[in-house]
Structure 1
């Protein structure tokens, strides 16, 4: 008669992403390598001269301000969409019905890029959201001598 010995229990993998009990526990900055405020700062850089950004508390929001008093606040909504909130005024001179870049959707207080996530990368998200702000405002970089990116 042959006796089959039970296999030893698998040893949990311990690395940078998992603890000794197999729980997912990435180090800070690994799971989300940038904050929402980093997106706002990258967008302001792409928009060029006259555009600035400020971080909100803990980097969970970021506000981009433009040359003519325009402000755009980046935030994540309850559905995990990276949204940009803004308000229009009667004398802002913005296009009445801007043609938003592909995959952007309007919501009650602004716009968001469908299915955007941190895995898309900071540069990609910044380019897409800078394009959206240009469309919304009718902003042309030559108006403020912004570098062409």
Structure 2
């Protein structure tokens, strides 16, 4: 049996060049899907183009879009609707910060792992929706 060798992380010019799919083991849309699973029945997620966004839909009229903004923050965008009767001033979990387009997860990064990011996202959405 022969040992397999891993692809080099750097090219012949010394530039970082990991194999496709190895630098980031999951996409933004994967976070939306994992969050939907945690929120349970009635929640679904759809991938945006190339997986760089995801939209979470549930038992309310408002959808939640997972995106990364120009400052590299993971944002959960939503528009308040009077149809949903969300709490007016929700008590967000620690490190979920209100912003103009919704909330962002302070210092969130891929190195946190998919499960941790989904748990943080689900906690924020529960606070926003009051559910």
TM-score, L = length of structure 1: 0.81
Which consecutive segments of 4 or more residues in structure 1 shift more than 6 A?
none
Once the two structures are TM-superposed, the CA of residue 16 in structure 1 deviates from its matched residue by 2.9
- Distance of 2:75 and 2:60 partners within structure 1: 21
- C-alpha RMSD of the superposition: 1.3
Tell me the equivalent position of 1:53.
Answer: 45
Query: Are positions 1:91 and 2:95 aligned together?
Result: no
Alpha-carbon distance in 2 for matches of 1:47, 1:26: 34
Offset from partner CA, 1:14-62 (integer Å, 9 cap, x none): 9531123321100111111111000000000000000000000000110
Corresponding residue number in structure 1 for 2:25: 33
Equivalent residue number for residue 123 of structure 2:
131
Residue of 19, 24, 36 corresponding to 2:11: 19
Query: Are 1:73 and 2:65 counterparts?
Result: yes
Report the alpha carbon displacement of residue 67 of structure 1 after superposing the two structures with TM.
1.2
1:121 maps to 113
Q: Is the partner of 1:124 in helix, strand or coil? A: helix
Instruction: Give the TM-score, by structure 2 length.
Output: 0.92
2:3 is aligned to: none
Residue 104 of structure 1 corresponds to which residue in structure 2? Answer: 96
In the comparison of the two structures, how many residue pairs are matched?
A: 126
